[in-house]
């Protein structure tokens, strides 16, 4: 720090920003500092914590993260070049646990790569704190997306109050860990592991926490009070693809329901495969923004939910395609949605504002486009017919209905009246 007054000014700035919006600051730090601080450390900082107790490294991290979203003076105003360079590569030393990881007394519960074992809660905390096990979007039950100053912050949904309640119960000896915490080793060519019938040794790979993040955070809170708590946590450990992990989440949904719109995104289907192919196509992906929940769509950060798009593809193209047909439909939808870019490029780039005056950029409109694409599939003059259909729709006059499905159904009727066809 260049001077004591500079440090006091940085502390004052951070404290004032936290007081203005504690939740907003927490979300920003969760997104920006996930590789430097744990969730519990971040929430402690933003909830009645004396920021003045932080060292200069932590102050640099926090001030730098907030500078991306608030109009603050350049960080070099307060910190020296040496401090800033040190902060770039500094990491907090935690308990020395790294690969290879060895889990003992492991039971293989199925013929697939599914295992169960117990580990002390101190070991689980260290694995999470060191970043060996991650919370991965798309491999957790829900995510939260927010936008500050035209910058998107997205992270796995987390309820700190729930975690703190679990932490208090653990610390008081009143917690009963009856449920597994689910961890998944992603088979992507980077994994290296051995199971000898008793011990599971993980030499390398990417580990994702699928279910149990609030219990994990609660464990961390409890250990802040008493590092020597005698408790073990049961682990359900799987090895497989991202799709397998999402299928596990879909199975969990039957036991502990999550938001309905997420289920389709986690369940393997032809529609999911096709949607992934066209929505991630590098030529058009920048024009189409899809999210896993309605909250993100409602806030204007996405056009429609992935689940609705997948559901509509399954409905109109069928759920049991042969490989060639599935690939053909994928290529077709890339071509179809590319043509929509030619027609609606300006609207797509400014969809958040356009949808205030026209419904062609509203969520159900994108499911309608899937319906139209099926109507045009394998037609020679489809581009001309598409342009004619869209040109005949009054997108300033929104279809009746207060719910998504009702509006979509009425939008389809408008197209059917134009084409004189049926579903």
Please determine, for residue 134, whether its predicted confidence score (pLDDT) is greater than 90. no
Q: What is the pLDDT of residues 168-205, one digit of tens each?
A: 999 988 887 777 888 888 887 778 899 998 999 988 88
- Asked whether 25 and 80 are in contact (CB, 8 A), the reply is no
E strand or H helix that includes residue 294:
helix 294-298
Q: Looking at residue 132, what is its pLDDT?
A: 54
E strand or H helix that includes residue 40:
helix 39-46
Q: Looking at residue 130, what is its pLDDT?
A: 53
Q: What is the pLDDT of residues 262-287, one digit of tens each?
A: 555 445 678 888 888 888 788 888 89
3-state secondary structure of 404: helix
Please determine, for residue 136, whether its predicted confidence score (pLDDT) is greater than 50. no
Strand partners, 103: 200
Strand partners, 39: none
Q: Looking at residue 142, what is its pLDDT?
A: 47
Q: Which letter does DSSP use for residue 102 in this model?
A: E
Q: What is the bridge-based pairing of β-strands 232-240 and 114-120?
A: antiparallel
- Asked whether 265 and 306 are in contact (CB, 8 A), the reply is yes
Question: Which two structure tokens, joined as six digits, stand for 83?
Answer: 């401090």
Q: What is the pLDDT of residues 6-21, one digit of tens each?
A: 889 999 999 999 988 8
Question: Which two structure tokens, joined as six digits, stand for 305?
Answer: 């939910």
């Amino acid at each position: 720090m260049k001077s004591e007054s500079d440090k006091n000014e940085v502390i004052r700035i951070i404290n004032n920003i936290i007081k203005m919006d504690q939740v907003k600051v927490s979300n920003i730090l969760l997104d920006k500092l996930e590789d430097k601080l744990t969730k519990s450390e971040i929430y402690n900082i933003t909830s009645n914590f004396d920021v003045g107790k932080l060292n200069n490294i932590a102050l640099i991290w926090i001030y730098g993260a907030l500078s991306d979203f608030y109009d603050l003076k350049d960080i070099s105003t307060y910190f020296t070049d040496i401090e800033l360079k040190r902060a770039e590569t500094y990491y907090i030393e935690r308990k020395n646990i790294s690969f290879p990881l060895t889990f003992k007394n492991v039971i293989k519960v199925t013929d697939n790569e599914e295992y169960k074992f117990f580990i002390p809660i101190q070991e689980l905390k260290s694995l999470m704190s060191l970043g060996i096990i991650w919370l991965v979007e798309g491999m957790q039950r829900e995510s939260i997306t927010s936008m500050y100053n035209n910058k998107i912050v997205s992270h796995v949904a987390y309820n700190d109050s729930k975690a703190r309640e679990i932490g208090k119960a653990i610390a008081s000896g009143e917690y009963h860990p009856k449920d597994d915490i689910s961890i998944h080793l992603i088979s992507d060519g980077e994994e290296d592991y051995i199971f000898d019938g008793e011990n599971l040794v993980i030499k390398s790979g990417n580990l994702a926490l699928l279910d149990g993040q609030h219990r994990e955070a609660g464990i961390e809170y409890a250990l802040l009070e008493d590092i020597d708590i005698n408790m073990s946590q049961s682990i359900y450990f799987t090895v497989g693809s991202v799709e397998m992990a999402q299928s596990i989440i879909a199975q969990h949904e039957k036991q502990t329901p999550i938001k309905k719109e997420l289920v389709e995104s986690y369940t393997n289907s032809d529609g999911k495969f096709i949607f992934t192919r066209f929505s991630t196509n590098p030529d058009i992906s920048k024009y189409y923004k899809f999210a896993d929940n309605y909250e993100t769509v409602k806030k204007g950060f996405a056009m429609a939910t992935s689940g609705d798009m997948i559901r509509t593809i399954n409905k109109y193209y069928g759920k049991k395609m042969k490989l060639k047909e599935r690939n053909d439909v994928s290529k077709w939808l890339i071509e179809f949605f590319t043509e929509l870019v030619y027609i609606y490029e300006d609207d797509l780039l400014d969809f958040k504002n356009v949808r205030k005056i026209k419904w062609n950029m509203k969520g159900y409109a994108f499911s309608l486009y899937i319906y139209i694409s099926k109507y045009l599939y394998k037609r020679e003059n489809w581009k001309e017919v598409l342009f004619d259909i869209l040109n005949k729709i009054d997108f300033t006059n929104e279809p009746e209905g207060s719910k998504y499905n009702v509006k979509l159904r009425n939008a389809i009727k408008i197209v059917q009246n134009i084409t004189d066809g049926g579903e």
